[in-house]
Structure 1
Amino acid sequence: MQCPRCRNKDKKYFYKSSRGWICRRCIQFKRQLIEEEIQENGKVEIKENADEYTLKYPLTPKQKEVSLKCLQSLMNGKDVFIDALCGGGKTELVLQSISYYLKNKKRVVFAVARRQVVLDLYARLKAIFNHAKVIAVCQGYTQDLVGDLIVCTTHQLYRYPKSFDLVILDEPDAFPYKGNVVLEGIVKTSCIGQMVYLTATPDQTIKRRIQNDELTHLKLYRRPHNKDLPVPKLIVAPTMILFLLLVLWIKQHATHSLLIFVPTIQLSKVMHRLLSCLFVVGSCTSKTVNKDDIIERFKDKKIQCLIATTILERGVTIEGVDVCVFHADNSVFDEASLVQMSGRVGRSFNYPTGDCLFLSKQKSKLVDDCIKTCIKINDNGRV
């Protein structure tokens, strides 16, 4: 017995109702009878010229090479993993493939982990594919579900069984997708063709698939502006000293937008209360109600400092931002999240450099590994 939606085979999740067997593992996405075969969504007519796209900046030679190899691998029926550093232009690397599929009247979805990333990516892709109907599907945006190019959270893919010829999965190592077997099953069920995985920090699942030759592994270790990935500076001291150093750091970077990562919501509240006495400060966590408004105000430089948990570690680009990770040694952070947080710095052509500071209570192997990874990426990118 197997659930046709999430592909569960574990008997303990099946329940016999008066209508038939039901999978309880994915019941939050709507009741699914095991005996019912999931039907494909109705055929969608892709608009003429939906494949045409424009970019503000031309791709670098290395980006063009990776972009072409990605398309060639997909055309040969093989899934792709693009191993690109933070700020390396992962989205731009799949535009050629998206265009090819749309030109051939095939359906494409760009699936990401979090709602805020959906809205940011939707705005970018809508400007790039300005002849296509690009839609966002996430919490608060579920009225229109049909488009040429869909950008959605992985949760929303339950609405699209057996629908997409190309599924582009952004940051598969990020919460809430990572390790979530229900979401993994739903993503696979939505795909009737090939998949592209995009991340700078692959997990063991992707690494294992590469070793088994199940994925074409493409690498990009240089940003489009050809500047190094900022390497975090580390200071180890007691918390009170770290806080004073943070205040000094904020004053020294008064003309910049400052993103301060903390490991817990409780610490974000404490930091917000203390720093608000001295600076214009905002806070963004999973419990924040008006996240969109706060992030927009931060982008518009109406807020100097934004305190955030790992909810903003990926996907959101802020021009000219410097980053501090407070209590970088906390067990909430792993090497991947530390790399991603430091990768918020220096992402744009207008601000290709910046400062990243790790403030730790004690030495940490994960912090050291993150710094070594950043140095290694820069070394590989110069080759």
Structure 2
Amino acid sequence: MKCPRCLNQDKTYFYKGSKGWLCRRCIQFKRQLLEEDKTVANIEVGQDSSEYTLKYPLTNAQLVISHQCLASLKQKRDVFIDAVCGAGKTELVIESISYYLKQRKCVALAIARRQVVLDLKRRLENIFLNAKVIAVCQDYTEDLVGDLIICTTHQLYRYPKTFDLLILDEPDAFPYKGNEVLAGIVQTSCKGEMIFLTATPDDYLTERLRLKNITHLKLNRRPHNHDLPVPRLIVSPTILLLLFLIDWVVKRESSILIFTPTIRISKYLYVLLSCIVRVKVCTSKTVNKDEIIEDFRNKKFRCLIATTILERGVTIEGIDVCVFYANHGVFDVASLIQMSGRVGRSFKYPTGDCLFLSNAKSSIVNECIHVCKEANHG
């Protein structure tokens, strides 16, 4: 017995209902009988929607990666693109997306965070002007058919045996990392080739992809050719860290994004900083997250305090970043690299400041700083 959706073969998860056998491991997505494994989502790509327009031409280094990626896909080989934060991972796969759309084939990008899905939909609509680009995520599930589908990883259960090209963004991040159910759903939704995109591959992911003989492409420079921001580290008792933070905020002229490990700490810093700067908080419990992020992007207020909900994918021009309690157990090397990578992502604002405030020494923090330095010399 094998689940047609999550590929589970553990007998303890199967049970027989009145209509047939079901798998309990992935039943939270939708009840599906094992006999329904021939189901295919009905998506037909109509007119040619492959034409695209980029705001900036690709650099020579980006062009090389883009061409190599498509060449491997044409050979029916999956691709793993390992590119630093801000290197333009989306732009690196535009040529491949266009090729598949030209062939009238189904393409999807699967992403960890809902907010990134919505941001990327807006970006790709401005690149593929003739394509129907849809977002499928929480609150956006009425329209499931488009030329180019941008969805959270969980929503792939709606598309069994559908995609000729599936681009999986940040496979090293929650919720995909270590989730066998999602891994199975990703695998069964793709009937063709896959592209894996990440700035922070872990050892498990790298080894797993190596064993599958996947083309590995690496890019260590951002398109504006400025170095990655290397975090400045201050290690002090908490009371001094708060004073450092206040001083840092007062001296900033740009917008400020402060990451915290917990919602409680976010609320505490909001109370502390609200008397000196216009500030808002964005966490998993925030109701109007989309509105707050858009207002921050449009400079309607200057300081945003957030948990790791904004550590990946979201691009906001001209910001400085502080990670408070960078040594906290909630953070790992990948998350710290991603948070520091929010700085200096655009041509208009290619530099900025990143400050790590820690109340104890941490090998994780040191490793993050080392990785950023190594990338700049690579």
Give the alignment's TM-score, normalised by structure 2.
0.98
State the distance in 2 between where 1:28 and 1:175 align.
Answer: 18
Q: Equivalences for 1:162-311 in 2 at 5 Å?
A: 162-212=161-211, 214-253=213-252, 255-311=253-309
- Matched-pair contact (CA < 8 Å) for 2:229–2:351: yes
Deviation, structure 1 residue 189: 0.7
Cα RMSD, aligned residues only: 1.0
Structure 1 residues 21 and 210: alpha-carbon distance in aligned structure 2, compared to 1, 3 A threshold: closer
Deviation, structure 1 residue 9: 1.2
State the distance in 1 between where 2:55 and 2:298 align.
Answer: 21
- Matched-pair contact (CA < 8 Å) for 1:209–1:215: no
Deviation, structure 1 residue 18: 1.7
Of 311-320 and 272-281, deviating more is 272-281
State the distance in 2 between where 1:305 and 1:363 align.
Answer: 27
One-letter identity of the residue aligned with 1:22:
L
Q: Equivalences for 1:1-383 in 2 at 5 Å?
A: 1-48=1-48, 50-212=49-211, 214-253=213-252, 255-380=253-378
- Matched-pair contact (CA < 8 Å) for 1:5–1:38: no
- Matched-pair contact (CA < 8 Å) for 1:321–1:346: yes
One-letter identity of the residue aligned with 1:338:
L
One-letter identity of the residue aligned with 1:363:
K
Deviation, structure 1 residue 41: 1.7
Report the 3-state secondary structure (helix = DSSP H, G, I; strand = E; otherwise coil) of the residue aligned with 1:167.
strand
Of 311-320 and 12-21, deviating more is 12-21
Structure 1 residues 43 and 341: alpha-carbon distance in aligned structure 2, compared to 1, 3 A threshold: closer
Report the 3-state secondary structure (helix = DSSP H, G, I; strand = E; otherwise coil) of the residue aligned with 1:377.
helix
Tell me the number of residue pairs that the alignment of Structure 1 and Structure 2 aligns: 378
What are the superposed Cα offsets for residues 5-63 of structure 1, whole Å, 9 maximum, x if unpaired?
11111222212212222111111111011222241122503322x00000111000000
What are the superposed Cα offsets for residues 253-277 of structure 1, whole Å, 9 maximum, x if unpaired?
0x21100000011111111122112
Paired-residue identity, %? 66
State the distance in 2 between where 1:43 and 1:230 align.
Answer: 42
- Matched-pair contact (CA < 8 Å) for 1:46–1:106: no
One-letter identity of the residue aligned with 1:7:
L
- Matched-pair contact (CA < 8 Å) for 1:47–1:148: no
Report the 3-state secondary structure (helix = DSSP H, G, I; strand = E; otherwise coil) of the residue aligned with 1:217.
strand
Moved over 6 A (4+): none
Of 271-280 and 231-240, deviating more is 271-280
Of 167-176 and 29-38, deviating more is 29-38
What are the superposed Cα offsets for residues 75-115 of structure 1, whole Å, 9 maximum, x if unpaired?
10111000000000000000000000000111100110011
State the distance in 1 between where 2:227 and 2:203 align.
Answer: 26
Deviation, structure 1 residue 205: 3.2
- Matched-pair contact (CA < 8 Å) for 1:157–1:187: yes
Report the 3-state secondary structure (helix = DSSP H, G, I; strand = E; otherwise coil) of the residue aligned with 2:322.
strand
What are the superposed Cα offsets for residues 215-238 of structure 1, whole Å, 9 maximum, x if unpaired?
110010000000000100000001
- Matched-pair contact (CA < 8 Å) for 2:45–2:106: no
Report the 3-state secondary structure (helix = DSSP H, G, I; strand = E; otherwise coil) of the residue aligned with 1:35.
helix
- Matched-pair contact (CA < 8 Å) for 2:336–2:368: yes
State the distance in 2 between where 1:46 and 1:259 align.
Answer: 43
One-letter identity of the residue aligned with 2:23:
C
Deviation, structure 1 residue 356: 0.2
Report the 3-state secondary structure (helix = DSSP H, G, I; strand = E; otherwise coil) of the residue aligned with 1:307.
strand
What are the superposed Cα offsets for residues 156-186 of structure 1, whole Å, 9 maximum, x if unpaired?
1111100000000111111111111111111
Gaps of 5+ in 2: none
Give the alignment's TM-score, normalised by structure 1.
0.97
- Matched-pair contact (CA < 8 Å) for 2:85–2:338: yes
One-letter identity of the residue aligned with 1:302:
K
